[in-house]
Amino acid sequence: MESNFQAFSKLMKHPVKFRMFLFTKLPSAYFAGLRIKSFNENKCEVTVPYKWFSQNPFRSTYFACLSMAAEMSTGALSMGYLYKKKPPVSMLVIKTDGEYFKKATGITTFTCEDGKLIKQAIEEAISTFESKTIVARSTGRNNTGEVVAEFKITWSFKIKK
Could you read off the pLDDT of 40-81 as tens digits, one per residue?
Answer: 999 999 999 999 888 889 999 999 999 999 999 999 999 999
pLDDT at 128: 93
Q: Which CATH number does the domain 4-159 belong to among 1.10.1200.10, 3.10.129.10, 3.30.1370.110, 3.90.550.10?
A: 3.10.129.10
**pLDDT band (50, 70, 90) for residue 1:** low
Q: Whole-structure pTM over 0.85, yes or no?
A: yes
What is the pLDDT of the chain when averaged over all its residues?
Answer: 94
Instruction: With a cut of 90, say whether residue 2 has pLDDT above it.
Output: no
- Secondary structure in 3-state letters for the chain: CCCHHHHHHHHHHCHHHHHHHHHHHCHHHHHHCCEEEEECCCCEEEEECCCHHHECCCCCECHHHHHHHHHHHHHHHHHHHHCCCCCCEEEEEEEEEEEECCCCCCCEEEEECCHHHHHHHHHHHHHHCCCEEEEEEEEEECCCCCEEEEEEEEEEEEECC
pLDDT at 3: 86
**pLDDT band (50, 70, 90) for residue 13:** confident
Which residue would you say has higher pLDDT here, 1 or 159? Answer: 159
Could you read off the pLDDT of 102-119 as tens digits, one per residue?
Answer: 999 999 999 999 999 999
pLDDT at 62: 93
